[in-house]
């Protein structure tokens, strides 16, 4: 298949205009019938790599995924794009499962998602034999390896699938960075001629920052204020902390829920769902939260406590910004947090303890970096792809100026020498600052001439200078758990001479909290069309509720931003926005176009340009036309056809006319009486009035449209 053809399929089915890095090569390989191992960071766009070939080759592509909770969302997202997808897992009753199987056998299913445990069942394998199976995609493929962090014994059964269907190409996908696990995946699955596609691990849209733990609460409020209502995760140390923080945030106007392993399963599930659906924007959580959170628009991941290791930190922050939009990862670092972790490590023994100590040490090192944080993180995973500076971490972003540090450097080096070159930088700084600490008194360091001789720097500032002196080679830092500092030969030489010393230091932030908030508000106001974006979000929310799917199934944030920026008012123009394909245009287009038109009209009348006629459909006018046609006795289908809109949109018009107090007769539109009664009964017994559960209860022979029409009448209390 040519590049042009695959690109056409990409637009046709997913609404995207170009591939993300790596996707095209992976897709071509699959289309050539070859095995592939795909290693891509979270949010890199792995799913598309098998979804697109599945559409191009026809038949059935089997997708194995361990995340049962996500299957329905994934399938809903595909369906919203007009792609026939189904899932089979333990949440389906037998009857529904049998229906899905029959549909797959009849060739009506392109992508079939299943949980790995099903593959181990002999009945299921026989069923697979009756399908036109074209490809097997194995998501989270690292689960097959005992070396990985998430081994699942069920994944071992997948090797047998290979024996049963040796001719079917396999695509194994993972975000795991270690080479050992990658090799294990290929070995276990016996993917002999397997091509490997390993993308860099950089997530360029994430900004990494470390901030002092001392002002953590105030800074957290700032961060949330700047991103009011946007999804955020705050990782905390203990279960108690998550609950305290959630309560405190909520009382400060930032609605937050707590999540930890000590809550019962129902609460955990509902918190997770409310977060994914956007009902609660912030979750304060222990690290128990995250696996299986496939929410594309998390804008902020905060570590209110020190993570266990660089690996877990990178994984946890990786949950931010999957949609590729700018997102922040902020870690609050307290020297005290280190002690907390150390306390637990002391309980460990042997190798585990050594590992935990090393990991903690690396984490602390990361926090204290005065060089690019991204470079450090990627270097940890053996990815040297980022040039220094990355331009998107606090260190790189900090404005620097050359500062004369001669005097304070002399004091620092002297203090290191006077204390015997046996202590860490923290202790030396405490001595210089003249802090009244037990340890200092015991060592009698308060009697030294260097005690309390620094007044023009705080602890943080002194640490930066220490780092600078280490970088310049005037100080040396020992390796190991307690890195003591000593003065190098060139340090002594400099101390004896009278050369000046200048360091490039970050300009100190001197703005106050209010100033920062004000500045950020100004930014939002300046941001063109933030209003429109909010309106589009509201429409998305409503449509998602009506269909009982998470908001991102309708459109991602990136697409809403694209809509807000380009403001299409015709279907053709809307189709040019990334993320809008024909299926979604037909399904949701008119609702969004109406909002955009309304917004533009509002702008024009405010600026006095268009008091008269405009050539765009006004929302009110559009509803009026629908009503007129209805009163002429036309069916929903006929009105939709005549107006070039979807039937769902026509029903939505009726709902809004009704809500605005309009009168019309729905009865000719209702399904036959027995069906109407069944739907009414289901609606009456529904707890929250959401349509999804009602639809699920009624099954396939009642459509959303029918249910909504019945609801129109029933809500009115007329029948
Ligand atoms: P992964 O499984 O690698 O974590 P996903 O497959 O969930 O990532 O994709 C992450 C996000 O990127 C999704 O919102 C997806 O729709 C979007 N995406 C994938 N491919 C493209 C593309 N070519 N253009 C724009 N967005 C894309
Ligand atoms: Zn950087």
Domain boundary among 163, 198, 233: 198
Domain boundary among 198, 228, 259: 198
CB atoms within 10 A of CB 586: 15
Q: Which of 385-394, 508-517, 538-547, 591-600 shows the lowest per-residue confidence on average (mean pLDDT)?
A: 508-517
Q: Which of 329, 333, 303, 363 is nearest to 211 (CA)?
A: 333
Tokens representing residue 537 in the block: 């979000």
Q: How far away, in angstroms, is 106 Cα from ligand 1 center? A: 30
pLDDT score for 444:
93
Residue 517 falls inside a structural domain: no
Q: Span 130-150, mean pLDDT?
A: 88
Residue 130 falls inside a structural domain: yes
Please give the residue that has the higher pLDDT: either 135 or 460: 135
Q: What are phi and psi for residue 499, nearest 5 degrees? A: -75, 145
Q: How far away, in angstroms, is 306 Cα from ligand 2 center? A: 20
User: Residue whose CA is closest, atom 26 of ligand 1?
Assistant: 16
Q: How far away, in angstroms, is 397 Cα from ligand 2 center? A: 7
- What tens digit of pLDDT does each residue of 182-229 get? 899 999 999 988 999 988 788 889 999 999 888 899 999 999 998 988
Residues 307 and 363 sit within 8 Å (Cβ to Cβ): yes
Q: Which of 105-119, 495-509, 582-596 shows the lowest per-residue confidence on average (mean pLDDT)?
A: 495-509
Using CA atoms, how far residue 519 sits from 207, 225, 226, 515, 524, in Å, is 19, 12, 10, 6, 9
- What tens digit of pLDDT does each residue of 561-594 get? 999 999 999 999 999 999 999 999 999 999 999 9
User: Residue whose CA is closest, atom 18 of ligand 1?
Assistant: 45
d(CA 655, CA 591): 13
CATH of the domain at 153: 3.40.50.300
User: Residue whose CA is closest, atom 19 of ligand 1?
Assistant: 45
Q: Which ligand is nearest to the CA of 393?
A: 2
d(CA 52, CA 354): 46
Same-domain pairing of 94 and 169: yes
Closest atom, ligand 1, to C-alpha of 40: 3
Q: Which ligand is nearest to the CA of 11?
A: 1
pLDDT score for 467:
84
- What tens digit of pLDDT does each residue of 665-699 get? 888 888 888 899 898 888 888 766 667 778 778 87
User: Residue whose CA is closest, atom 11 of ligand 1?
Assistant: 323
pLDDT score for 128:
96
The vertex-150 CA angle with 145 and 156, nearest 5°, equals 40
Q: How far away, in angstroms, is 216 Cα from ligand 2 center? A: 22
Q: How many residues does the chain have?
A: 719
Same-domain pairing of 149 and 91: yes
Q: Span 13-26, mean pLDDT?
A: 92
The vertex-538 CA angle with 72 and 704, nearest 5°, equals 45
- What DSSP state is assigned to residue 218? H
Residue 131 falls inside a structural domain: yes
How does residue 480 score in pLDDT terms, banded at 50, 70 and 90? low
d(CA 542, CA 534): 13
**What is the percent of the chain with per-residue pLDDT over 90, rounded to a whole number?**
48
Q: Which of 48-62, 67-81, 86-100, 244-258 shows the lowest per-residue confidence on average (mean pLDDT)?
A: 67-81
Please give the residue that has the higher pLDDT: either 130 or 667: 130
Residues 610 and 604 sit within 8 Å (Cβ to Cβ): yes
Q: How far away, in angstroms, is 370 Cα from ligand 2 center? A: 10
CATH of the domain at 420: 1.10.10.10
Candidate of 48, 49, 201, 290 to mutate for ligand 1, largest count of ligand atoms within 8 Å of Cβ: 48
Q: How far away, in angstroms, is 380 Cα from ligand 2 center? A: 14
Closest atom, ligand 1, to C-alpha of 46: 3
Same-domain pairing of 179 and 294: no
d(CA 455, CA 432): 9
User: Residue whose CA is closest, atom 9 of ligand 1?
Assistant: 45
Q: Which ligand is nearest to the CA of 553?
A: 1
Same-domain pairing of 532 and 551: yes
Who's near 570: CB < 8 A, 6+ residues apart? 593
Q: Which ligand is nearest to the CA of 386?
A: 2
Residue 511 falls inside a structural domain: no
Q: Which ligand is nearest to the CA of 21?
A: 1
pLDDT score for 520:
46
Closest atom, ligand 1, to C-alpha of 77: 16
Total tally of structural domains belonging to the chain:
4
Same-domain pairing of 623 and 708: yes
Q: How far away, in angstroms, is 47 Cα from ligand 1 center? A: 7
In DSSP terms, 113 is beta-bridged to: 63, 87
d(CA 124, CA 160): 13
pLDDT score for 620:
46
Residue 333 falls inside a structural domain: yes
Q: Which ligand is nearest to the CA of 398?
A: 2
Q: Which of 3-12, 140-149, 164-173 shows the lowest per-residue confidence on average (mean pLDDT)?
A: 140-149
Closest atom, ligand 1, to C-alpha of 44: 3
CATH of the domain at 645: 1.10.150.80
Sign of the dihedral through C-alpha 602, 604, 610, 616? negative
Q: How far away, in angstroms, is 371 Cα from ligand 2 center? A: 7
Average per-residue pLDDT for the chain: 86
User: Residue whose CA is closest, atom 15 of ligand 1?
Assistant: 45
Report CA 79 to chain centroid distance, whole Å. 21
Same-domain pairing of 574 and 664: yes
User: Residue whose CA is closest, atom 13 of ligand 1?
Assistant: 323
- What tens digit of pLDDT does each residue of 308-353 get? 889 889 989 999 998 889 999 999 998 788 888 888 888 888 888 8
- 3 state SS for 415-453: HHHHCCCCCEHHHHHHHHCCCCCHHHHHCCHHHCCCCCC
Q: Which ligand is nearest to the CA of 396?
A: 2
Q: How far away, in angstroms, is 549 Cα from ligand 1 center? A: 18
Q: Which ligand is nearest to the CA of 199?
A: 1
Same-domain pairing of 25 and 165: yes
Same-domain pairing of 248 and 121: no
Q: How far away, in angstroms, is 113 Cα from ligand 2 center? A: 39
For residue 216, give the 3-state DSSP assignment: helix
Supply the range of the domain harboring residue 271. Answer: 206-397
User: Residue whose CA is closest, atom 14 of ligand 1?
Assistant: 323
User: Residue whose CA is closest, atom 1 of ligand 1?
Assistant: 43
User: Residue whose CA is closest, atom 20 of ligand 1?
Assistant: 45
Q: How far away, in angstroms, is 465 Cα from ligand 1 center? A: 42
Same-domain pairing of 176 and 225: no
d(CA 64, CA 665): 49
User: Residue whose CA is closest, atom 5 of ligand 1?
Assistant: 45
Residues 270 and 254 sit within 8 Å (Cβ to Cβ): no
- What tens digit of pLDDT does each residue of 365-382 get? 999 888 899 999 988 877
Same-domain pairing of 532 and 499: no
Who's near 244: CB < 8 A, 6+ residues apart? none
User: Residue whose CA is closest, atom 23 of ligand 1?
Assistant: 19
Q: How far away, in angstroms, is 365 Cα from ligand 2 center? A: 15
d(CA 415, CA 431): 8
Same-domain pairing of 271 and 182: no
pLDDT score for 589:
93
- What tens digit of pLDDT does each residue of 502-514 get? 988 877 654 444 4
Q: Span 91-98, mean pLDDT?
A: 93
Residues 298 and 320 sit within 8 Å (Cβ to Cβ): yes
Q: How far away, in angstroms, is 486 Cα from ligand 2 center? A: 28
Which residue's structure tokens are 């009168």?
A: 663
Residues 697 and 663 sit within 8 Å (Cβ to Cβ): no
Closest atom, ligand 1, to C-alpha of 175: 3
Closest atom, ligand 1, to C-alpha of 20: 23
pLDDT of 50 over the 70 cut: yes
d(CA 172, CA 183): 12
Q: How far away, in angstroms, is 378 Cα from ligand 2 center? A: 11
Residues 250 and 256 sit within 8 Å (Cβ to Cβ): yes
Closest atom, ligand 1, to C-alpha of 10: 23
Same-domain pairing of 370 and 426: no
Residue 515 falls inside a structural domain: no
Candidate of 24, 47, 294, 577 to mutate for ligand 1, largest count of ligand atoms within 8 Å of Cβ: 47
pLDDT of 642 over the 90 cut: no
pLDDT score for 511:
43
Residue 604 falls inside a structural domain: yes
pLDDT score for 608:
55
Q: How far away, in angstroms, is 289 Cα from ligand 1 center? A: 22
pLDDT of 239 over the 70 cut: yes
Closest atom, ligand 1, to C-alpha of 14: 16
Ligand 1, residues at Cβ distance < 6 Å = 16, 19-20, 23, 40, 42-48, 296, 322-323, 556
Residue 212 falls inside a structural domain: yes
pLDDT of 55 over the 50 cut: yes
User: Residue whose CA is closest, atom 24 of ligand 1?
Assistant: 16
Q: How far away, in angstroms, is 207 Cα from ligand 2 center? A: 9
Q: Which ligand is nearest to the CA of 73?
A: 1
Taking each helix axis from N to C end, the angle separating 46-57 and 23-31, rounded to the nearest 10 degrees, works out to: 30
Closest atom, ligand 1, to C-alpha of 578: 25
- What tens digit of pLDDT does each residue of 447-457 get? 999 999 998 88
């Amino acid at each position: 298949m040519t590049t042009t053809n695959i690109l056409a399929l990409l637009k046709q089915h997913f609404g995207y205009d170009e591939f993300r890095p790596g996707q095209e090569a992976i897709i071509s390989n699959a289309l050539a019938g070859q095995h592939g191992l795909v290693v891509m960071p979270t949010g890199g766009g792995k799913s598309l790599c098998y979804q697109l070939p599945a559409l191009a080759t026809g038949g059935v592509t089997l997708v194995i995924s361990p995340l049962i909770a996500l299957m329905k969302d994934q399938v809903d997202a595909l369906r919203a794009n007009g792609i026939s997808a189904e899932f089979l897992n333990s949440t389906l009753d037998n009857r529904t499962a049998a229906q899905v199987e029959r549909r797959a056998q009849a060739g009506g299913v392109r992508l079939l998602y299943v949980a790995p445990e099903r593959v181990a069942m002999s009945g299921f394998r026989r069923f697979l034999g009756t399908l036109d199976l074209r490809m097997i995609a194995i998501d989270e493929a690292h689960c097959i390896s005992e070396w990985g962090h998430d081994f699942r014994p069920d994944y071992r059964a997948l090797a047998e699938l290979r024996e049963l269907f040796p001719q079917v190409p396999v695509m194994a996908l993972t975000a795991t960075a270690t080479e050992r696990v990658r090799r294990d995946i290929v070995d276990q699955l016996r993917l002999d001629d397997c091509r490997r596609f390993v993308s860099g691990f950089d997530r360029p849209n994430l900004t990494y920052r470390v901030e002092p733990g001392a002002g953590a609460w105030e800074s957290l409020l700032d961060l949330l204020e700047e991103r009011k209502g946007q999804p955020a995760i705050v990782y905390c140390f203990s279960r108690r902390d998550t609950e305290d923080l959630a309560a405190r945030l909520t009382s400060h106007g930032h609605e937050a829920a707590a999540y930890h392993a000590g809550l019962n399963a129902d609460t955990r599930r509902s918190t997770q769902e409310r977060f994914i659906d956007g009902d609660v924007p912030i979750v304060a959580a222990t690290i128990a939260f995250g696996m299986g959170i496939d929410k594309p628009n998390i804008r902020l991941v905060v570590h209110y406590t020190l993570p266990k290791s660089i690996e877990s930190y990178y994984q946890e922050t990786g949950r931010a910004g999957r949609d590729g939009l700018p997102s922040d990862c902020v870690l609050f670092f307290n020297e005290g947090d280190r002690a907390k972790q150390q306390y637990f490590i002391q309980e460990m023994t042997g190798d585990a303890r050594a590992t935990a100590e090393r990991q903690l040490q690396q984490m602390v090192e990361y926090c204290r970096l005065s060089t690019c944080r991204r470079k450090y993180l990627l270097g940890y995973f053996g990815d040297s792809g980022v040039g220094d500076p990355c331009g998107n971490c606090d260190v790189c972003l900090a404005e620097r100026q050359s500062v004369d540090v001669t005097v304070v450097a002399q004091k620092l080096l002297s203090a290191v020498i006077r204390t015997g070159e046996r202590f860490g930088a923290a202790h030396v700084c405490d001595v210089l600052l003249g802090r009244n600490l037990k340890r200092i008194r015991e060592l009698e360091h308060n009697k030294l001439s260097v005690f309390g001789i620094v007044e023009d720097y705080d602890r943080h500032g002194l640490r930066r200078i220490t780092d600078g002196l280490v970088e310049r080679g005037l100080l040396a830092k020992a390796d190991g758990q307690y890195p003591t500092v000593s003065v190098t030969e060139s340090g002594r030489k400099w101390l004896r001479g009278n050369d000046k010393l200048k360091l490039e230091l970050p300009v100190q932030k001197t703005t106050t909290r209010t100033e920062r908030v004000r500045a950020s508000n100004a930014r939002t106001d300046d941001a063109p069309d933030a209003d429109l974006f909010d309106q589009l979000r509201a429409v998305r929310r409503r449509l998602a509720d009506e269909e009982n799917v998470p908001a991102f199934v309708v459109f991602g944030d990136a697409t809403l931003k694209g809509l807000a920026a380009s403001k299409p008012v015709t279907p053709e123009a809307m189709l040019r926005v990334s993320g809008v394909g024909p299926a979604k245009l037909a399904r949701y287009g008119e609702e969004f176009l109406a909002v955009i038109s309304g917004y533009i009209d509002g702008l024009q009348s405010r600026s006095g340009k268009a008091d008269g006629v405009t050539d765009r459909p006004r929302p009110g006018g559009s509803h009026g036309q629908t009503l007129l046609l209805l009163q002429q006795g036309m069916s929903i289908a006929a009105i939709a056809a005549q107006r070039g809109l979807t039937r769902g949109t026509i029903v939505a018009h009726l709902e809004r006319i009704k809500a605005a107090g309009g009168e019309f007769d729905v009865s000719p539109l209702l399904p036959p009486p027995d069906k109407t009664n069944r739907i009414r009964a289901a609606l009456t017994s529904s707890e929250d009035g959401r349509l999804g559960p009602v639809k699920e209860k009624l099954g396939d022979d009642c459509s959303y449209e029918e249910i909504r029409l019945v609801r129109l009448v029933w809500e009115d209390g007329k029948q």
